[in-house]
């Protein structure tokens, strides 16, 4: 049940909702009751799944979406910006814009997974 809660927290944090999953992850790590690989896996899976949801929103539903700063960064640096989809404020709009610009879902998922998975590894390292 805890892993599901972490998954949901990470999923929602990856959407445009102003939420964060890092505090929950840190508290679960500090409790010492849970497997670190499991915590990393479910946090990463939830966060990447939330970003994939954003990609689908951008690709199929939010053609009118405009976040000028994210759009300019995406146009300047291309798909590599997705490695930074974990950043606050700018990250979530980048994933929507990637869908809007029809970034192939395989590349999208790989880059977002690398960025978000690395971020959670750093958090685990810092907390332990």
* Residues 51-110 pLDDT 10s: 999 999 998 887 555 667 777 888 899 999 999 999 988 899 899 989 988 999 999 999
119: pLDDT confidence band, cut at 50, 70 and 90? very high
pLDDT for position 36 = 97
Q: How far apart are the first and last CA of the chain?
A: 22
Mean pLDDT, range 45-49, rounded to an integer: 98
pLDDT for position 64 = 57
Residue 21 has a CB neighbour count (10 Å cut-off) of 24
pTM: 0.89
pLDDT digits (tens, 9 = 90+) for 5-19: 999 999 999 998 889
């Amino acid at each position: 049940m805890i892993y599901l809660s972490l998954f949901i927290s990470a999923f929602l944090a990856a959407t445009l909702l102003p939420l964060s999953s890092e505090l929950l992850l840190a508290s679960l790590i500090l409790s010492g009751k849970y497997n670190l690989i499991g915590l990393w896996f479910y946090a990463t899976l939830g966060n990447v799944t939330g970003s994939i949801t954003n990609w689908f929103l951008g690709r199929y539903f939010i053609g009118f979406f405009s976040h000028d700063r994210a759009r300019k960064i995406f146009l300047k640096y291309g798909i590599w910006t997705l490695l930074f989809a974990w950043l606050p404020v700018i990250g979530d709009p980048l994933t929507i814009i990637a869908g809007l610009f029809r970034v192939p879902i395989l590349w999208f998922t790989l880059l977002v997974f690398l960025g978000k998975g690395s971020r959670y590894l750093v958090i685990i390292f810092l907390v332990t």
